[in-house]
Structure 1
Amino acid sequence: MIKFFRKIRQNLLSEGKTAKYFKYAMGEIILVVIGILIALQINNWNEEKKYQKQLHIKVHSILGDIREDALQIKALLKDLEKQHSAADHIIPIMESEQKAIVDSLKFILDFNSFTTTPILSQQNNTWDYLSANGILSELEDQELVNLLMNYYNYFDELTINFNNSANPVRLELRELKYELFTNTEHRKFFPTKKPSVPSKAVYESIFNDIRILPLCRYIGSTAAYFEGRFKDVDQKAEKIIYYLETNYQPI
């Protein structure tokens, strides 16, 4: 092809057609420039396609993170629901004058549930990476960005609040439990797959120690409060999972 164009130029010069030669040369330059521009456009298109593919992969990584979050949230909700229910059962008994216990085993197991301290470890590495590197601005799906920002901001704030205000009291009651109960009595109901009723002294220590009732009240109230808040987070997580599964098929 190059030899063909060179031969045309040589013929034009040999025939003294200088004006035509320059016009032809200009045409050749224009064709070369157009060819370069097309090549650059194709290269840019290929690079953009690769980048969008990587972005798609990161979006699916977020989907995996939120699925893990959802499993933890559901496990946490079970603990909070159990503590909420336990509070409704044992606090009225502890506040009453008679302290009449109908089911001794249920009472002690409900009391023991107050010492459960759920640990949340958010799976937000991909989100943190996208946020820190400004990649979020590259996502054209603004609806998804808004869903993710709302979810992570809410979840982060709630997790910090829960870890700082709810768990320390549960840990305090756990430590107090080991102070009040002998190891032998404690082992009758925790930890064991076949719990049994401890001695009367265990129940008396629960009723007589003035520190226990306020802690139980606080745990019951925080269980009810955070149960509602984490249900909100769970709904947000499920909404994002559904959105991603519907709109972003695996590559």
Structure 2
Amino acid sequence: MLRFFRSLRQKLLAENRIARYLAYALGEIFLVVIGILIALQVNIRKEEATEKTATEQLLTGIQADLKLEKDRLDFLVEYYSTITDGIQQILLNHQGKENNTNQELGHYFLSTFEFRKFSKFSTNYQTLYGSGLLQEIEDKKLPEELITYYSKQFLEWSLEIYQQKAGAFNFNNAPEFHPLDKLQTGAAYTSIPNFRLAVSEEYKTDFKEFIKDPAVVNFLVDLLHQSELVFANLKAYQESNLALSNQIQQYLDE
């Protein structure tokens, strides 16, 4: 084919047909340009298809991360709901509106020192964000929702504050609390400040007397407010987690 075009050019030059030669040359250049443009378009479409596949894979990974977070959030909702209910029971006993056993009161009280943390599973999101593919998503609302969700920290902060408040109680200033109730931390059990619930033993502390101390009552009221805030934040995270997961699924189904 190349030999044919070369022969044609030489023939036109030999016959001194300059006008036709120039027209032919321009036509040949035009064809080359068209060929390059087609090749570029094919390459662009290949890159777009590759990017789309990579984006969809990362979004699917984010969905899996959100599912793990949902399971954690479900656990924490139940966990902090139990703690909140326990503190309320202690305060109701203090007000004479409930009459729990000493063992129940001890369990409620020491449970207030337990805490569980939460952190997002953000590896796939960080990869999507760092690769620049986030801005290539056609639905422009989805990148905004992703950035908003992974930028939220109010639940994490409220859990940290709960931990700080729970660890701030000074047992040295609470003479009614019996030292034998400060059990050693178990190998598979984490709490602050290093307590383990006496599940199979009777508490030595008389908690009905213990909770009469104004410092103890103030501590519990303060912790109750924080636990309620944690619980509200957990519910808010559950809602945003579900909404984002559904939005991703809708995008993938389109």
TM-score (norm 1): 0.81
**What per-residue deviation string (whole Å, max 9, x for no partner) do you get for residues 108-139 of structure 1?**
22222211111122222443455566553322
Residue in 2 that maps onto 1:230 = 234
Which protein, 1 or 2, shows the higher relative CO under an 8 Å CA cutoff with sep ≥ 6? 1
CA contact (8 A) 1:186 1:198 kept: no
CA RMSD, Structure 1 to Structure 2 (Å): 3.0
Mapped to 1, the partners of 2:54 and 2:130 lie a distance apart of 17
CA contact (8 A) 1:83 1:219 kept: no
Query: Is 2:205 the counterpart of 1:214?
Result: no
Cα gap change, 1:248 to 1:17, in 2 (>3 Å): same
Mapped to 1, the partners of 2:155 and 2:181 lie a distance apart of 38
CA contact (8 A) 2:70 2:241 kept: yes
Q: Write out aligned runs for 1:1-251 (5 A).
A: 1-96=1-96, 101-131=99-129, 135-154=133-152, 156-163=153-160, 165-173=161-169, 176=171, 180-183=177-180, 186=183, 190-191=196-197, 194-199=199-204, 201-203=205-207, 206-207=210-211, 209-248=213-252
Kindly tell me the number of residue pairs found equivalent between the two proteins.
241
Unaligned segments of structure 2, at least 5 residues = 185-194
Greater percentage in helix: 1
Cα gap change, 1:100 to 1:146, in 2 (>3 Å): closer
Task: Give 3-state SS (helix, strand or coil) of 1:112's partner.
Answer: helix
> Which residue type is aligned with residue 33 of structure 2?
V
**What per-residue deviation string (whole Å, max 9, x for no partner) do you get for residues 22-56 of structure 1?**
21111111111111111111112212222222222
Task: Give 3-state SS (helix, strand or coil) of 1:223's partner.
Answer: helix
Mapped to 2, the partners of 1:206 and 1:141 lie a distance apart of 59
**What per-residue deviation string (whole Å, max 9, x for no partner) do you get for residues 168-195 of structure 1?**
112234x6399833336758x9446x53
Task: Give 3-state SS (helix, strand or coil) of 2:200's partner.
Answer: coil
The structural deviation recorded for 1:210 is: 3.8
Mapped to 1, the partners of 2:92 and 2:9 lie a distance apart of 104
The structural deviation recorded for 1:6 is: 1.3
Cα gap change, 1:209 to 1:186, in 2 (>3 Å): farther
Unaligned segments of structure 1, at least 5 residues = none
Mapped to 1, the partners of 2:210 and 2:50 lie a distance apart of 64
Percent same amino acid among aligned pairs? Answer: 22
